[in-house]
Amino acid sequence: MKLSLNSFQGELPVVADRLLPDNAASACMNGRYEGGSLVPEREVYDRVSVVIPGGAGGFQLTDETTIQNAFNNPPAPGSNLSIIAQDSWLITIPTTGDIIRGPLASDAYNRWYIARQGSAPKVRYTKDGATGEKGLAVNPPVLSYSFEIGYADSPASQRFGGGISQRPEGLALVRARQDEYQGSARWYGTEFDITAKPEQLKASLEADEIPYESVFSTYVLTVVSILGEESKISGPSRVVERLESDSIVLGVILQFGDAIFDDPQIEKVNVYRSDGSGSFGYVGSLSRAEYDVQLGESATRLATNSFDVVLWSNGFTAFFVDTVPSSKLGESNITADWDQPDTSMASITNVGAGLLAGHFDGTVCFCEPYYPHAWPVEYQYNFADDKADVEVMGIVATAGFILVTTNSRPVLMFGSEPGAMSQQVVDIVAPNVSRRGLVDMGDYALYPTHDGLMMVSSGSARLVTKGVFSKEQWQALNPAGFVAFRYNESYLCFSGGVAFIFNAETGYFPIDPWAQLGAVTVLDGYYNPASDSFWILLIEDDVLTRIVKFGAGDLAELSWRSKEFQIPGGLAFSSARVEGDEDVQFILTGDGGYSYSATITSDAPFRLPPGRPRTLQLELRSSGRIDAVAVATSMQELY
């Protein structure tokens, strides 16, 4: 008779020891399944670490050069190197949240997007060699605060008195200057006569026998950030009658107020115009640099015999002259529906094809593809339930769908167009109890519920740990505290001082990778496939917050103990064999005081002490791979 184990599984705590499969562990530590064999986990590499003096709840390394150089040139044995965190290569946030790279493959600004509970979403960027951070939202200009006009025959209080909101919109008509006109304004080298009303301009053109036509136009503005992000359009101006002529340059003055450049992150203002077509074509822009030049000018009064317009005074400090005929309008504006992200957006994740997804309360939202600052209201999906308030707990994109976990039922979303996503509510009450425990596993996702680990694929949802843990055993792991990752195609999870690897096919493998550290709580982590580096943010002894490299230290000693095998009476096992690539401590115990322990240094069979125990249990310990183990009643059976 031979007991042979050619593959190994992890623990199945809910199963009684005598009923375990032959290759399942009754106890194991620091081992994991790999290709049918049992392999040891590595400890964390803590001789080099990044120290975060102020603490953190989440992080992202935007450039690994500094820390990788330190790992490539480690300190002398017995000493450690602590690198102080720097903003130039590390982003930290004080609480749990998401930090993701932008969707552009070659982003000139190296943008990273940040969302967390209790704070408006932000973007971290690099510009002109310096690192900066700003709000993700680019707020549209408020048109009534942006345009100003003053007519000589308007009441002074309407032109210049009171607050900005009391002033009418800034539209005035101009024509190219002729010598007989006294007052003028200069715009890019051209001098213009200013005429406040269409009737006056028409009269002057008719007097000069210049043909013209009337065009009724509406203006909108957008602002553009220092990162080239264009805002949603402002509200429209009133309709203004413009005059166009093939013989002379005619135009409209738009005068801006101080508030247009109050936000230091705004680089320029874009002007768009509609001439009745329904779309707004590009007219031109006023940059901050041009605004600053105008701001530096003295307050100037421009006048003609019959009216005046005041520029650069009373809080209205810049102007723009539109001389673009209808036939020369630029590209149509595309930002009419580009709303700002909700200020309470608590998560952000990349779901592919330039699309980012986030959530706030019970609503899932999407950005405009490849424009992460624009989050149209039309791309929002509310998961309200008639029976209860639904709160979104986390979002993850798998190979075939987007999974939205809630405090009730999970929801699958399908589609590539953010405004046309289909939804499938999974008919199972399975609340996600830990946002950080939600992990994309490729074709499916895993997340912790009150009862166990839920596996959701495009066609089904099931409690994948049902045959592994009882509810009481599962709750003892503190699923609400899970911080989990996809690691070697398994579910790697940390919760307080507990750490384990779970695989749906091979079971539960507890690990203890912190041999050189004190009491550890894992806060965050991420895997960089480009450098094959897995970084972990942890707090040690409730005091020191630092980043260490997971799976890069020394090999830990794995231990694996089998079930208790029942042996038919009268049989005596005399021989054994262990196959592996390192020395293995082989321990065999049985009833009646039977016990044998030896360090096995080769794959050759070896003799066991005499005895006829009715139960046998194997235990293996090693810092190397174990491929197989067998015990038999004769040497011949081992070959």
Cα Rg of the chain (Å, integer):
35
574 pLDDT above the threshold of 80: yes
How far is the CA of 165 from the CAs of 13, 159, 168, 315, in angstroms? 70, 11, 8, 12
**Whether residues 491 and 561 fall in one domain:** no
Return the closest-CA partner of residue 620 out of 638, 637, 596.
Answer: 596
Residue 429's CATH number = 2.130.10.10
Distance from the Cα of residue 436 to its chain's centroid: 13
**Which of the four pLDDT bands, split at 50, 70 and 90, describes residue 233?**
very high
> Model-level pTM?
0.85
- Could you give the CA distance from residue 330 to residue 415 in angstroms, rounded to a whole number? 33
State pLDDT tens for residues 615-626.
999 999 999 999
- Could you give the CA distance from residue 131 to residue 206 in angstroms, rounded to a whole number? 58
**Whether residues 165 and 298 fall in one domain:** yes
> Tokens for 270?
């874009």
**Whether residues 168 and 262 fall in one domain:** yes
At 388, the amino acid letter reads A
**Whether residues 256 and 147 fall in one domain:** yes
350 vs 171, higher pLDDT: 350
Evaluate whether residue 267 is within a structural domain.
yes
pLDDT computed for residue 257 by the predictor? 64
Residue 581's CATH number = 2.60.120
303 pLDDT above the threshold of 90: no
At 514, the amino acid letter reads W
**Whether residues 454 and 564 fall in one domain:** no
pLDDT computed for residue 201 by the predictor? 72
At 2, the amino acid letter reads K
Q: Rounded mean pLDDT of 37-52?
A: 91
Domain boundary among the residues 281, 298, 328 is at: 328
DSSP state of 634: S
Return the closest-CA partner of residue 93 out of 120, 66, 69.
Answer: 120
Domain boundary among the residues 308, 328, 348 is at: 328
Evaluate whether residue 124 is within a structural domain.
no
Evaluate whether residue 532 is within a structural domain.
no
Averaged confidence pLDDT in the chain: 85
Buried residues in 124-160 as b, exposed as e (16+ CB within 10 A)? bbbeeeeeeebbbbbebbebbbbbbbbeeeeeeeebb
Evaluate whether residue 353 is within a structural domain.
no
**Whether residues 181 and 260 fall in one domain:** yes
**Whether residues 317 and 395 fall in one domain:** no
- Could you give the CA distance from residue 448 to residue 477 in angstroms, rounded to a whole number? 11
At 124, the amino acid letter reads R
Evaluate whether residue 120 is within a structural domain.
no
**Whether residues 150 and 240 fall in one domain:** yes
pLDDT computed for residue 184 by the predictor? 39
> Tokens for 498?
């507990």
At 427, the amino acid letter reads D
pLDDT computed for residue 270 by the predictor? 94
**Whether residues 318 and 411 fall in one domain:** no
Q: At 121, phi and psi to the nearest 5? A: -60, 150
pLDDT computed for residue 297 by the predictor? 52
Evaluate whether residue 126 is within a structural domain.
no
Evaluate whether residue 311 is within a structural domain.
yes
- Domain containing 574 equals 2-41+557-638
**Which of the four pLDDT bands, split at 50, 70 and 90, describes residue 309?**
very low
How far is the CA of 215 from the CAs of 203, 268, 282, in angstroms? 16, 27, 16
**Whether residues 299 and 170 fall in one domain:** yes
How far is the CA of 101 from the CAs of 265, 288, 503, in angstroms? 20, 28, 29
In three-state form (DSSP H/G/I as H, E/B as E, the rest C), the secondary structure along 55-66 is: CCCEEEECCCHH
State pLDDT tens for residues 100-112.
999 998 899 999 9
- Could you give the CA distance from residue 80 to residue 46 in angstroms, rounded to a whole number? 8
As for how many domains the chain has, the answer is 3
pLDDT computed for residue 177 by the predictor? 40
DSSP state of 493: E
**Whether residues 444 and 387 fall in one domain:** yes
**Whether residues 314 and 215 fall in one domain:** yes
- Could you give the CA distance from residue 519 to residue 498 in angstroms, rounded to a whole number? 10
Evaluate whether residue 633 is within a structural domain.
yes
Cβ count within 10 A of residue 277: 11
Sheet holding 507-510, edge to edge: 483-487, 490-495, 498-503, 507-510
